[in-house]
């Protein structure tokens, strides 16, 4: 009991302001329409029906019990596979809120790269804030940079402004990498009177959001900082999935299908598709599983050789001999050891990766030329086409619920939290818990084995 409390305790305004008095929620809920039988014993009171989430509600993090380490793979929590229950806070509207809507100035900022669904989340945050009665809602343009760049003014947001933004991809507010110092950002928030900040971004953005939260606490500012994890790679710990991932897999499938048609229509055709996944291969693995057209799936978590008797190239030769064509999908972070290190970083300090897709294309051409076998190699990099898509239906729903719950979390008085979906329930996590390292595909997991079963590829070691 103590363990989970310690682990998933989420920061609340009363930690800093123990005397903060909540007010009844301005977000009115009716959970269900009264049925005839409800009237038998008199009309139920609003209190019985309110449907608000209790602050003590929890969601169980791991819902499977393994009986042996071998069936668990790396899912096993400890070597003996004893059962540790981990519970996380359930997201949703609370009966008591810690901000008066008329005193709220809410800001939304989107940072990092593009991801399908950003506009859906922005839209839903704005709509939900308005339902609470918030009048002052602004967008910070172009990521954290918008806090310091005097040429960029904040964008007033309302239901009218955001009504149709989800119909296109990208971010209404713009994104960027690199940022001013945390203290400059908090100075700017103080100047502007922002007391609710919604931050949409990946691990870097969340590290920034947590630093802003801590700085606000240090200055004793009554501010709620709430993140919504945006990672197309699906590499956030503990969550079922992050928004944009589903859309990415669907679009990736289209690229794979094109590569397949190109490869299949050429004599000894080989299609190479590079997909997103800097440190984890979820998109590549899922797209391979979904398409059923991939012969070789390469991800950062699973080492492989290109050359040698058990290398990828030898298997490609075998595929040309037996099937006549082949399709490879490779995650951008895979096989980085083959590429020359540049030590270059982007504005946010992320290492710039070498292009493994181009490398595989070149090595494949060279190999088949050397062995005197004809091969027609075509390379597709759909990254920017995928990132710019609008969210599909399932991501649209995910974004909507995450956006609503971000607002509920802020009004509930939580700060330094992020919203996620966990075993189909929506939950709040303390930010540091989910960004301590990127979630990765477990090479011993059932899912990776299913992928191998589907592609039929051997180990390339």
- Least separation in angstroms between residue 373's CB and Mg ion is 41
Q: Does 201 bind ligand ATP (CB under 6 A)?
A: yes
H-state helical runs in 266-345: 282-291, 312-322
Give the pair of three-digit tokens for residue 38.
Answer: 């409800």
Q: What's the rounded Cα separation, in Å, for the pair 393 and 186?
A: 36
Catalytic residues: 233
Which residues are 105's β-sheet partners? 136
111 binds, among ligand ATP, Mg ion, none (CB under 5 to 8 A by kind): ligand ATP
Nearer residue to ligand ATP within complex by CB, 111 or 360: 111
Instruction: Find the binding residues for Mg ion in span 192-211 (CB under 5 A).
Output: 202-204
Nearer residue to Mg ion within complex by CB, 319 or 440: 440
Near ligand ATP by CB under 6 A: residue from 29, 77, 207, 261: 207
Nearer residue to ligand ATP within complex by CB, 53 or 399: 399
DSSP for residue 102: G
179 binds, among Mg ion, ligand ATP, none (CB under 5 to 8 A by kind): ligand ATP
Q: Are 412 and 94 a contacting pair, CB within 8 Å? A: yes
Near ligand ATP by CB under 6 A: residue from 110, 195, 253, 348: 348
Nearer residue to Mg ion within complex by CB, 203 or 400: 203
Q: Are 17 and 38 a contacting pair, CB within 8 Å? A: no
Near ligand ATP by CB under 6 A: residue from 27, 99, 144, 429: 144
Near ligand ATP by CB under 6 A: residue from 92, 101, 116, 143: 143
357 binds, among ligand ATP, Mg ion, none (CB under 5 to 8 A by kind): none
Which residues are 200's β-sheet partners? 110, 228
Instruction: Find the binding residues for ligand ATP in span 93-112 (CB under 6 A).
Output: 111-112
Q: What's the rounded Cα separation, in Å, for the pair 424 and 404?
A: 16
Distances (CA, A) of 46 to 23, 32, 256: 17, 11, 53
Nearer residue to ligand ATP within complex by CB, 53 or 200: 200
- Least separation in angstroms between residue 14's CB and ligand ATP is 26
Q: What's the rounded Cα separation, in Å, for the pair 109 and 445?
A: 36
Near ligand ATP by CB under 6 A: residue from 110, 171, 231, 325: 231
Which residues are 23's β-sheet partners? 97
DSSP for residue 209: H
Nearest to 431 by CA among 146, 138, 195, 213: 213
Q: Are 198 and 406 a contacting pair, CB within 8 Å? A: yes
Near ligand ATP by CB under 6 A: residue from 25, 171, 188, 205: 205
DSSP for residue 458: -
Q: What's the rounded Cα separation, in Å, for the pair 414 and 98?
A: 9
Q: Does 177 bind ligand ATP (CB under 6 A)?
A: yes
Residues near Mg ion (CB under 5 A) are 202-204
Residues near ligand ATP (CB under 6 A) are 111-113, 143-144, 177-179, 182, 201-205, 207-208, 211, 231, 348, 350
């Amino acid at each position: 009991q103590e363990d989970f409390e310690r682990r998933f305790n989420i920061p609340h305004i009363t930690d800093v302001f123990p005397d903060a008095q909540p007010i009844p929620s301005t977000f009115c809920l009716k959970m269900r329409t009264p049925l005839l039988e409800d009237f038998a014993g008199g009309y139920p009171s609003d209190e019985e029906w309110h449907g608000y989430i209790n602050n003590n509600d929890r969601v169980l993090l791991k819902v499977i019990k393994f009986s042996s380490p071998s069936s668990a793979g790396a899912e096993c929590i400890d070597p003996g596979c004893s059962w540790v229950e981990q519970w996380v806070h359930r997201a949703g509207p609370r009966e008591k809120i810690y901000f008066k809507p008329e005193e709220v100035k809410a800001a939304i900022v989107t940072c990092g790269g593009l991801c399908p669904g950003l506009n859906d989340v922005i839209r839903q945050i704005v709509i939900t804030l308005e339902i609470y009665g918030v009048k002052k809602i602004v967008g910070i343009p172009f990521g954290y940079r918008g806090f310091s760049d005097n040429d960029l003014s904040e964008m007033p947001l309302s239901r009218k402004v955001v009504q149709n933004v989800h119909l296109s991809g990208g971010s209404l507010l713009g994104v960027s990498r690199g940022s001013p110092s945390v203290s400059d950002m908090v100075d700017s928030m103080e100047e502007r009177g922002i007391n609710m900040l919604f931050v949409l971004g990946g691990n870097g953005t969340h590290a920034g959001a947590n630093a802003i939260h801590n700085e606000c606490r240090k200055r004793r500012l009554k501010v709620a900082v709430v993140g919504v994890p945006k990672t197309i790679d699906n590499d956030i710990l503990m969550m079922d999935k992050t928004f944009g991932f589903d859309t990415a897999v669907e679009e990736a499938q289209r690229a794979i299908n094109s590569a397949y048609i190109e490869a299949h229509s050429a004599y000894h055709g080989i299609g190479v598709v590079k997909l997103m996944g800097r440190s984890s291969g979820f998109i590549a693995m899922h797209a391979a599983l979904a398409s059923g057209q991939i012969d070789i799936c390469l991800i950062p978590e699973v080492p492989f050789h290109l050359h040698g008797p058990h290398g990828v190239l030898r298997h490609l030769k075998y595929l040309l001999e037996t099937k006549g064509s082949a399709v490879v999908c490779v995650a951008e972070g895979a096989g980085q050891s083959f590429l020359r290190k540049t030590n270059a970083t982007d504005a946010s300090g992320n290492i710039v990766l070498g292009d493994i897709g181009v490398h595989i294309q070149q090595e494949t051409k060279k190999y088949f030329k050397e062995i005197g076998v004809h091969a027609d190699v075509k390379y597709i990099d759909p990254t920017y086409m995928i990132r710019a898509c609008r969210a599909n239906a399932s991501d649209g729903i995910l974004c909507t619920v995450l956006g609503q719950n971000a607002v509920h979390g802020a009004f509930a008085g939580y700060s330094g939290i992020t919203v996620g979906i966990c075993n189909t329930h929506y939950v709040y996590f303390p930010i540091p818990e989910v960004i301590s390292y990127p979630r990765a595909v477990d090479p011993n997991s059932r899912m990776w084995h299913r992928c191998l079963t589907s592609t039929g590829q051997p180990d390339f070691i």
